[in-house]
Amino acid sequence: MRKFLLAFDEMIPRLFRTIAFVGGISIVVMTVAVVREIVGRYFFDAPTSWSVELCEHLMVVFTFLGGPFVLVMNAHVRADVFYQRVTGRKKVILDLVIYSLSLIYLGALTWQCFLWSWQLLVGWEKSGGGLGLPLFPAQATVSLGALLSCVECVRKLIHAVVILAMKEE
């Protein structure tokens, strides 16, 4: 069991880094689309009907695929004014509370997004913009990102419990 947990603990950050890289590629594509839109609109008087819609979908991709990696790196936003003042065992207990509450929220988000994604897939709903992109992939990305964030919260909770157990010994 210990070997499994150690392998899991090493694999998750690598996996999330790879997934965040995919999210990063979407930023590059979005940048190209925005530059094309600016050049087309202001220099050639030829705006596109698809640029904004594509950027909205790509923003969902980089936000929700990057979120789990942000958790791995401890780069997420928290009330550092209070968090920095807490040290030792109290900080670990605070982490337990934070990640437990985050897990509850992210679990509900994952479930509801999965249900909504399924409805969008079954109905093959499309956006109303110029591209008419299916809405399912973007919504499924939200579901995946929330699920992966749940996995990271569980990993962080395990770390906190192990630290607390070690300090008691």
Residue position matching structure tokens 């003042």: 85
pTM of the model: 0.84
Residue 81 has what pLDDT? 73
- Over range 10-30, report the average pLDDT: 89
Residue 47 CA to residue 100 CA, distance in Å, equals 47
Taken in order 102, 106, 109, 111, the sign of the CA dihedral is: negative
**Of the candidates 22, 31, 138, 109, the residue with the CA atom closest to the CA atom of residue 69:** 22
Residue 168 has what pLDDT? 62
Residue 28 has what pLDDT? 93
Q: Are 53 and 131 in contact (CB under 8 A)?
A: yes
Tokens of 162: 């192990």
Q: What is the DSSP string of 10-33?
A: HHHHHHHHHHHHHHHHHHHHHHHH
User: Per residue in 36-80, pLDDT tens?
Assistant: 999 998 888 888 888 888 888 999 998 898 889 988 888 777 767
User: Per residue in 80-127, pLDDT tens?
Assistant: 777 778 788 888 888 899 899 999 999 999 999 999 999 999 999 888
**Of the candidates 48, 102, 54, the residue with the CA atom closest to the CA atom of residue 76:** 102
Distance of CA 1 to the CA centre of its chain: 28
Most confident of 25-29, 73-77, 130-134: 25-29
3-state secondary structure string across 50-90: CHHHHHHHHHHHHHHHHHHHHHHCCCCCCCHHHHCCCCHHH
Q: Where are the domains of the chain?
A: 2-168
